[in-house]
Structure 1
Amino acid sequence: MTTTSAPTTDGFPPVRADERPDLLAPGSPAHRVLAEPLIALYGLPGFLLPLMHPATAEATLRRDPVFTNPDSHLMHFAARLRDTIEMIAGVGLAGEEADHVAFAMRELHKPIKGRDTRGEPYHAWTRDIWTWNWAAIVAGFMSMYGGVRGFPSREFRDDAYLGLVETGRRFGVLGMPASYDEFLVVWPLERDRIADPDNETIQRVLALTQARGLPAPTWLRRLPLPLWAVATLPIRHFLRMSLLLGLSPEERAMLGFRERPTDRAAARLHRLVWRIGLPRPVSYRLGLAWMAGRSRWGQPVWRTRFSAAALGADRG
């Protein structure tokens, strides 16, 4: 990796990471983190944290179908989260298609521009915005894996981070700190300097943890709210756990997420399930099998809405 300057509050250093394909080789720490099913199952922080950026929040609320379509419901949000995780993981796990996934990540965001939640003009394809959003995703992934699985060693943790830096490098991210220790200093400074955590997009995502805010499919919208609350309790519990396990205490405070008396006990139970009930090698193979199955029999989003042909047609 190249050397970065000392941490400041003036933005991420404008440096490019050296190309390190070995960091994403099968079996490497980053490959294991990207394939880990818990990242997908508890993936809400990876979607939520970037929305603290005033530009990302505005663009998502204005352009994303789960927010613009009044008929969107919980399954649409689930599919949106799946697509986000698969796009991120696909840069490292999609084999021969990985270069196209990286291309899709770049091309999808290049035309996005407007005025952010604070009224300031922005263009998504700028170094600072691009890096800030990737740093937010990396923060969520590393926090989730470390908090639930636990890093087996410091070397594993550091190589996992560097592999995520390599993942971002493949779709144009510049300025990520050169080590995880440095990231732990730089990210909170940049997060707090830029974040607008009380925006409408964030509030609509957080509302998914409440029965009133979790939109039902059309055929269930006549269901009385108490029955809907009971029926969706496991889903909403899982969403709460993802926020508790994947966000730092400072980030939860910024978002106004308050712990309930039972949350910590529930979080300990979730950790036990992943650390004892589903060993690391087993979950890794399950994650690889999911990606292989999606590639062989499914229609991942980089082959449909974000294919080269679709992105070219949108520009035309």
Structure 2
Amino acid sequence: MSDPAPPPPDGILWDVAGEYRTLLALPAAMALQVAHPAVGAGVDEHSVFRTAPWGRAERSIRSLLLWVYGGEAAADEGRRLRALHRDIRGTDSRGRPYHALAPAHYGWVHATGFPVHRHARACLGEPFTPAQERRLYAEWLQVGRVLGLRDRDMPQSLEEFWPYYRRILAEELEQTAVVRDLIAVGAPLPPPDRGPRALQAVLRALWPALLPGLVRLRRFLTVGLMPPDARAAIGLAWTPAQERRLRRLGRAVRWAYPRLPERLRYAPQAHRARRSRPPTR
């Protein structure tokens, strides 16, 4: 059997997945994933997100970009992720056994990408049209196949997705310990350990002054770029004043972002792939 193909170069994900403004929504997607007790328990017990957050974030972004822009390497990345999660199992906060690759759990991790992409786009860009949403969902199903999910483990249309999504919000999600850590303004966050050494040294020196503002910004984006119905289901506070700030940020990004050259709008891996893709007819 041949490997599943990644999303097509002329698709929507090639236009949006590698944009920096899209990547701003990754903390919101992660918080929505770990609000499921099984996923939260797996991350709580097996992840290094507390002790090595920058390395974990870098690996997550590199992996996501491979799913979309990786070509033949996309399927290899899917196999690597399944192997990585094969032995992650335990008991969640409700006393239920979990396994990271169980379709109910692995499928939820994948599913969160669609509503978060959709909401973040509406906040920071032009909202998707109904036709674009359908195409985006079809491409996100293709990502699921790359990750090793079977069609029977994923809602196959938007008409199937939204009842599934609402059921998980109503019956499963809670404010897990990992969610609380992701949004806590007092959570410890070490200085970045990636990038040029000179820059790392400067950041270490300035870190005590930078940290309070950075953790507040992280919380603001994590909660604000999460779909409002998910935010409410998890019990995350969001005030009208915060919503107004998010809308002001969205207007600024919506105006400025398209005016930047492409190399400043896309992560390097995405920019290289987009430059080398075949021309569309």
TM-score relative to the length of structure 2: 0.79
Q: Secondary structure at the match of 1:143?
A: helix
Query: How far did residue 164 of structure 1 move?
Result: 0.8
**% identical equivalent positions:** 19
- Which residue pairs with 1:100 in the alignment? 76
**2:31 maps to which residue?**
48
Q: Distance in 2 between matches of 1:254 and 1:126?
A: 23
Q: Is the 8 A contact 1:114 1:121 kept in 2?
A: yes
Tell me which residue corresponds to 2:233.
Answer: 254
8 Å Cα contact 2:134/2:158 also seen in 1:
yes
Residues 1:123 and 2:106 are matched in the alignment: no
Query: Equivalent residues in 2 for 1:65-80 (5 A)?
Result: 65-67=48-50, 72=51, 76-80=52-56
After TM superposition, give the deviation of residue 140 of structure 1 in Å. 1.9
1:114–1:123 CA contact under 8 A, matched in 2? yes
Q: Secondary structure of the equivalent of 1:278?
A: helix
In the TM superposition, what is the alpha-carbon distance from 1:198 to its structure 2 partner?
A: 2.6
Secondary structure of 1:262's aligned partner: helix
For residue 16 of structure 2, what is the aligned residue in structure 1?
Answer: 33
Asked if the contact 1:35/1:284 (under 8 Å) is kept, the reply is: no
State the alpha-carbon separation in 1 of the partners of residues 214 and 32 from structure 2.
20
CA distance in 1, matches of 2:4, 2:56: 30
Aligned equivalent of 1:8: none
Give the structure 2 partner of residue 173 of structure 1. 149
Query: How far has the Cα of 1:189 moved from its partner?
Result: 1.0
Determine the structure 2 residue equivalent to 1:202.
179
| 2:17/2:65 contact within 8 Å kept | yes
Matches of 2:67 and 2:48, distance apart in 1: 23
1:81–1:285 Cα change, 3 Å: same
Using the TM superposition, give the Cα deviation of residue 290 of structure 1 relative to its aligned residue in structure 2, in angstroms: 4.1
- Name the SS of the counterpart of 1:275 in structure 2: helix
Query: Using a 3 Å threshold, how does the CA distance of structure 1 residues 148 and 292 change in structure 2: closer, same or farther?
Result: closer
* C-alpha separation in 1, matches of 2:137 and 2:53: 28
1:10-48 superposed Cα distances (whole Å, 9 cap, x missing partner): xxxxxxxxx984x82223112223222212123211111
Q: How many residues align?
A: 259
Distance 1:187 1:278 in 2: 31
1:1-316 → structure 2 map (5 Å cutoff): 21=5, 24-67=7-50, 72=51, 76-174=52-150, 175-195=153-173, 197-207=174-184, 210=185, 212-217=186-191, 228=208, 231-279=210-258, 282=261, 286-287=265-266, 289-291=268-270
Q: Which string of whole-angstrom CA distances, capped at 9 and with x for unpartnered residues, describes residues 200-248 of structure 1?
A: 22211121xx1x224344999xx9xxx94x6334423432332344212
Distance in 1 separating the partners of 2:236 and 2:53:
20
CA contact (8 A) 1:110 1:124 kept: yes
Mapped partners of 2:129, 2:47: distance in 1:
39
Contact 1:34 1:93 in 2 (8 A): no
Q: TM-score, normalised by structure 1?
A: 0.71
Q: Hey, what's the Cα distance between the residues in 1 that align with 2:91 and 2:126?
A: 40
CA distance change for structure 1 residues 94 and 242 in 2, over 3 Å: closer, same or farther?
same
Give the secondary-structure state (helix, strand or coil) at the position aligned to 1:66: coil
Q: Which runs of 5+ in 1 are unaligned?
A: 1-18, 295-316
Q: Offset of 1:292 from its aligned partner?
A: 5.6
> What are the ranges of 5 or more consecutive residues in structure 2 without an aligned counterpart?
193-200, 274-281
Superposed displacement of residue 49, structure 1: 1.0
